[in-house]
Amino acid sequence: MSEHSSELPVLLVEDDDGIATPLSAALRGDGYPVVRVATGGAALAAAEQGVAAVVLDLGLPDVDGVEVCRRLRVVSPGTPVLMLTARTSEADVVVGLDAGADDYVTKPFRLAELLARLRALLRRAAGPEQASGGRRTLTAQDVRVDLDARRAWVGDTQLELAPKEFDLLALLIDKAGSVVTRERLMEDVWDTNWFGSTKTLDMHVSWLRRKLGDDASRPRYLTTVRGVGFRFEPDGA
Ligand code: CA
């Protein structure tokens, strides 16, 4: 069972035993350690312990799979997510991919197809990270984020970040070069749909900027895109 070098398990999130039982067996047969949970809440708790990949059912009893996927993207941005969906409409697939899923398989699926998709996702995810000893790190300019240790550095200097500041930085660096909307940041970092003022977000951005040594009027790292959101610059300006 040592075909896969990673010790981290594949997280299977599926409330239907009729699907989860044979699928767990197939994954173990393919050499993956498996953690199986039946709810979105348990999935997020398990993901915080570190997982190699997530196979995520869209229809869960507590939290919708799409919402679980969004939150997973915050808890562990680098982890591949393969969505299981009974919904075949294009809109649902788009929503799933938009929430951060890397690929999807429509029920009923063939086990062989699911395993092939999962292998492809794990290969892709392993690519750049093997060089850093298997740790999941994100880098833009001279800023580096270690998602497993929840530590961040500018050059060689470690940043003292509050949890929300870390989540904010990780999400922005994960999307470096693209604008992340204020709504997305509020949803992902504060776990809420925000209809009112986003003063909290602006305060955290300003604290984060100060810790990065960035200047809002002449930003080197974090650019404000007025009325839309923020962009972490991939290259020095
Ligand atoms: Ca289900």
User: Using one digit for the tens of pLDDT, what is the confidence trace for 185-232?
Assistant: 887 777 665 555 678 889 999 999 999 999 988 999 999 999 899 999
- CB contact at 8 A, 224 and 174: no
Question: Is the pTM above the cut of 0.75?
Answer: no
Q: Are residues 88 and 150 in the same domain?
A: no
Domain that holds residue 93: 10-126
Q: Are residues 145 and 218 in the same domain?
A: yes
115-142 tens-digit pLDDT: 888 988 887 777 654 444 556 788 999 9
Q: Are residues 121 and 138 in the same domain?
A: no
CA of 137 to the centre of ligand 1 (A): 32
Q: Are residues 102 and 203 in the same domain?
A: no
Please check whether residue 5 lies inside any domain of the structure.
no
Q: Are residues 69 and 104 in the same domain?
A: yes
CA of 114 to the centre of ligand 1 (A): 16
* Structural domain count of the chain: 2
Please check whether residue 139 lies inside any domain of the structure.
yes
Please check whether residue 143 lies inside any domain of the structure.
yes
4-43 tens-digit pLDDT: 444 799 999 999 999 999 999 989 988 899 999 999 999 9
Q: Are residues 142 and 174 in the same domain?
A: yes
Confidence grade of residue 170 (pLDDT, cut at 50, 70, 90)? very high
CA of 22 to the centre of ligand 1 (A): 15
Per-residue pLDDT, 145:
92
Q: Which one of 74, 100, 126 terminates a domain? A: 126
CA of 31 to the centre of ligand 1 (A): 25
Query: What is the distance between the alpha carbons of residues 9 and 12, in angstroms, rounded to a whole number?
Result: 9
Give ion ligand 1 contacts, CB < 5 A. 15-16, 57, 59
CA of 90 to the centre of ligand 1 (A): 19
Q: Are residues 144 and 219 in the same domain?
A: yes
Q: Are residues 122 and 145 in the same domain?
A: no
Q: Are residues 18 and 105 in the same domain?
A: yes
Q: Are residues 114 and 14 in the same domain?
A: yes
Question: Residues of the chain with pLDDT > 70: what percent?
Answer: 85
Q: What is the mean pLDDT of residues 102-121?
A: 84
CATH number at residue 49: 3.40.50.2300
Q: Are residues 151 and 104 in the same domain?
A: no
Q: Are residues 93 and 157 in the same domain?
A: no
